[in-house]
Structure 1
């Protein structure tokens, strides 16, 4: 069947279901029908948006649609296994999901199983919060060689993201290079170098743990195109690297020439981080620290002012054996400083290369405006441009920046925009919308069986009990098929 014919048929079915929804509320009782909001994506942005909407209006009903059978997005699949405290936010999200005015529909692929247009017809407002599941490419020769991975996929592999379980990275090399100096890059470096006795007490997946036990990686270089005053990581993550057991840092003193004089003009968080990097690079460690470092079997280092030019291959061009880097200089200062190639190059031997230069959002539906250059949905305070009743929150709104607290604030802002538009009449909530009543019908016709939050709790319970049996907080199910099997018991 032609796509346009299929869509037209779906729309006519929807019309009859819409009429059913209107009749259910009663034609004379539009004013008492609840405003219905749909949120696409169940990561932090989706749940924070839902939380604020439910709190702001006592009559609003929120439905959250998620492509996977399990909720929580990057809290589950992005946060490092050895950062369990960051995952405590799941407790707050669970309270929201259990609210009588909130429903979760997992295993629903919006854009494929149901269109944005169908959601817009069924709900008063639609909020897109599906995050950034794409990779920014380096754009250099050789980046598709074996041994080259995106940080997004590598993190997904050790955190149990179903689509990354076939990754099976080859860790049979001494040196790994990570391109990028943000928190994700440091997470990856830490997981590669951390003693597995520490990791086996986390919720890292069993296949990843077994691979890391056998890993030959002993040296990790964390490479950035700019200087020490432009690194994107935070002091917490850098301090964790400094204190990581059985490792020692190899920072280069020359990288900090002239930095001390610039410290006074830096904002406090940047100043504290830079001071710690300088101390690590320039000061002689205490006797106790020297003893610890002398026994370390693994090494990590920052390399500044380097940009990738080419991934180097072995003679038969089957896998990477190194990377060619351009040596840069800085033009300007502070966060606005630009890296400019000097013409010098440097070759680094490595058998594992991980690109941590950023996630990016992808378009979900041709009907939704999308800025492919910025990889965001163009918006004003979360209101999607030129599309009344359509909103966005999280990384889809801002680009992949900040931490969970940043996402919380920007999601609350979007929720406030939704509420303001309802109260001003920009979004007309006086006429009834059928919400999940019509969408559930469409999904049933299309053979899609959603996973409810109580279904997810069956998965959660099994994962926790499996983890307890092996001394871990959780042992995740790794395939969608397994998840669905447990959810539907």
Structure 2
């Protein structure tokens, strides 16, 4: 019988587990996660007001409740936790689905000023990620700049412009809801260095900005017209063509004088963040005696002859006491695994991990750590299937190696006490109870202590896994 560990319980990890049990009638799969909660970016990355996408958790739940799949949360793999080499001794095969855990930087002066954050940090805060130590995002800010024109940039822009009435029914943690309700931000600039025909947001996400109550979207027709694809969208792919149509309609609309404004800007490249008062900060100094970011200096760009943009030497300062960069994710090395720093991925061949160019038996990857941070949630399904196909082709040579009957016993004997499925269900109950106490629906627990306390509470209500109905 093949025993497989899947490291990561986001979509790529769950789809990997699902593909394994669908294709092998006897395989047993442990899905390990560093967090006590499953679902990865579906829980901690999808915006709280996107209920339809978040409902994907129900599909992932059905997989994790399969009789031959076991969820083990709170298990660190790598530095400070279970080394990959040891994990390889506990299972016949290990599939790493650890995503892309960090964000890209702008690499410009002033990026470390207070008030300058990554969109990842902001999303973690309003999604109640237990690692989020940040706070005070919107405190005292009147204007915000979101640098980037992908779907994450649209998400954080929308969150900044949303009112408490729309956010209260979501599972957003109470502290974030309170802070956003008290926000004084009335202007959000979403800025891209290239043109509208090259923006990465989808039309559905873009259109949502135009449906926000008490908010108007402002687009400059002259700025849009710098893009040849905007002037003649007939040759653009369907999504970009629809995006251009939406932007064109907003540019033609007269101002409404709404209390909040979202300004979509294009052909502007950030070159410096300025401290309040206009002085640029010493490199690497985030404190500056309490001084915060006050503006972003942009250079106007123009299309070049190669599909990119070039600087024009003309500059514009945009007021912003809050700056969120949303310029892409990046994988990070996992101690004990090979890593390609240039691509931010683990070297592999059809999902098989490569060490010094040779296949490493029993080690596999799927998801963003395999292919880079590309695609949508559904892209993880064929990616996982390719890796599982490779693993099952290798299975005859893997099952001959002796492994423990139950890796959980080894974990416990070495001080690792995983949060099993009943513990996760206890967290769900605690979040539902918190929501009732606050007069809301489900409200996420925002920190490690509250999550672990909930996981350990009332777990006796749940029968052992082998006695639960299938």
Do Structure 1 and Structure 2 share a fold, with TM-score over 0.5?
Answer: yes
Report the Cα distance in structure 1 between the residues aligned to 2:135 and 2:438, rounded to whole angstroms.
Answer: 24
The answer for the alignment partner of 1:158 in structure 2 is 126
* Residues 1:171 and 2:133 aligned together: no
Using the TM superposition, give the Cα deviation of residue 432 of structure 1 relative to its aligned residue in structure 2, in angstroms.
3.8
Residue aligned with 2:269, SS: strand
| Residue 113 (structure 2) aligns with | 145
Q: Which runs of 5+ in 2 are unaligned?
A: 278-287, 458-470
Q: How many residues align?
A: 439
DSSP-derived class of the 2:398 partner: coil
1:259 and 2:229 are equivalent in the alignment: yes
Match of 1:107 in 2: 74
Equivalent residue, structure 2, for 1:373:
342
Residue 428 in 1 paired to residue 403 in 2?
Answer: no
Matches within 5 A, 1:326-341: 326-332=299-305, 337-341=307-311
Give the direction of change, closer, same or farther, for the CA distance of 1:284–1:481 in structure 2 (3 Å limit): closer
Q: Which residue of 1 aligns with 2:323?
A: 353
Q: How does 1:53-452 map to 2 (within 5 A)?
A: 53-111=20-78, 112-257=80-225, 258-281=228-251, 283-284=252-253, 293-294=256-257, 296-314=258-276, 318-332=291-305, 337-365=307-335, 367-385=336-354, 386=358, 387-422=360-395, 425=396, 427-434=397-404, 437=406, 439-452=407-420
RMSD: 1.8
Indicate the residue corresponding to 1:51 in structure 2.
18
Q: Could you tell me how far apart the structure 1 residues matched to 2:314 and 2:61 are? A: 53
Q: Mean alpha-carbon deviation: is it higher for 158-167 or for 188-197?
A: 158-167
Higher helix share: 1
Match in the other structure for 1:35: 2
**Residues 5-54 of structure 1, C-alpha deviation per residue, up to 9 Å, x if partnerless?**
xxxxxxxxxxxxxxxxxxxxxxxxxxxxx111111111111111111111
Tell me the secondary structure at the aligned position of residue 131 of structure 2.
helix
Contact 1:165/1:478, CA 8 A, preserved across alignment = no
SS at structure 1 position matched to 2:82: coil
* Structure 1 Cα separation of the partners of residues 303 and 91 of structure 2: 51
TM-aligned CA deviation for residue 481 of structure 1: 1.5
Partner of 1:3: none
TM-score of the aligned structures, taking structure 1 as reference length = 0.86
CA offsets 1:90-147 (integer angstroms, 9 cap, x no match): 1121111111111111111101221100111221211111111112111111111110
Paired with 2:111 and 2:177, the residues of 1 have a C-alpha distance of 26
Task: Report the TM-score, using the length of structure 2 for normalisation.
Answer: 0.89
8 Å CA contact 1:140–1:311 kept in 2: the answer is: yes
| Alpha-carbon displacement from aligned partner over 1:37-96 (angstroms, at most 9, x marks no partner) | 111111111111111111111111111111111111111111001001111111121111
Rounded to whole Å, the distance in 2 between the matches of 1:43 and 1:75 is 7
Residue pair 2:73, 2:418 contacting (<8 A) in 1 also: yes
Gaps in structure 1 of 5+ consecutive residues: 1-33
